[in-house]
Amino acid sequence: MQPILRLQDVSKVYPNGTAAVQEANLEVGEGELISFVGPSGCGKSTIFRMAAGLSAPTAGKIEVLGTTPEEARRSNGISFVFQEATLMPWSSVRDNVALPLKLRQAPRKVQDEEAERALELVGLQDYAKALPRQLSGGMRMRVSIARALIANPRILLMDEPFGALDEITRQTLQEELLSIWRRNPGMTVLFVTHNAFEAVYLSNRILVMTPRPGRISREIAVDVPYPRGDRFRTGPEFGRFVGLVNESLKH
């Protein structure tokens, strides 16, 4: 199978001399949902920024959708969701979601229709005219996800998107993400989290990174079929996987 994203011996040393990533190797297949876990500062965000073409590696090669990361981003093949929802405070929810289409100069009618459709996917169809400050943290994150989905990306990069949310909201958004992912069989999701429970619940594969400079030290396949639901979350198998992730983080 042709990988949709490939890192070959990728390293990143920042101009101030900080070695953030060292010889990371990775192949991601279409339709995977992969989580990255690792200690703070081990280079997870750096890998994501490089994969999205927002920062260049200092060594090695990254291939996304058979081309360069920059090209994949320009053609809307790859979208990014950050930890903070980063919305425009003066614009309505609908206009925030429509931004990627506006930047592409899509007709206003298309922008509105597609924004409504994306808002429906995240359950916010009734909030199209609201301003971001009128929403809760979880709702703002949903807007941010809708904005990433509007361009129909083949790869969605999510950098600790649920880190700032309470546990209940986090679990709701996990379910929504899984449901969106399952309804779009070709969509590949890469997800950064500090939370072993979240990684196990969501992913088909977990990549554990070493402390900085980050390398991918271990891969854990969570070979449990979807939909997973509460039975998986509360069962013995779940605990075994979480134990495996936590154990791997110690080495």
Ligand X SMILES: Nc1ncnc2c1ncn2[C@@H]1O[C@H](COP(=O)(O)OP(=O)(O)OP(=O)(O)O)[C@@H](O)[C@H]1O
Residue numbers at the binding site for ligand X (CB under 6 A) = 14, 16, 18, 20, 38, 40-46, 212
Report strand pairing: 188-192 vs 59-64: unpaired
**Does the CA dihedral 229-195-181-29 come out positive or negative?**
negative
> Tell me, what DSSP letter sits at residue 84?
S
Nearer to ligand X, 21 or 178 (CB): 21
Task: Give me the least distance between CB of 113 and ligand X, in Å please.
Answer: 36
Alpha helices (H) along 150-235: 167-183, 196-202, 229-233
Nearer to ligand X, 42 or 121 (CB): 42
Nearer to ligand X, 58 or 179 (CB): 58
Helix, strand, coil % over all residues of the chain, rounded to 5:
40, 25, 35
Q: What are φ and ψ of residue 17, in 5° steps?
A: 95, -5
Task: Give me the least distance between CB of 175 and ligand X, in Å please.
Answer: 24
Task: Give me the least distance between CB of 206 and ligand X, in Å please.
Answer: 15
Q: How far is CA 15 from CA 76, 132, 166, 175, in A?
A: 29, 36, 36, 40
Nearer to ligand X, 13 or 131 (CB): 13
Task: Give me the least distance between CB of 88 and ligand X, in Å please.
Answer: 24
Nearer to ligand X, 22 or 111 (CB): 22
- Between CA 239 and CA 157 the distance in angstroms is 26
Task: Give me the least distance between CB of 107 and ligand X, in Å please.
Answer: 38
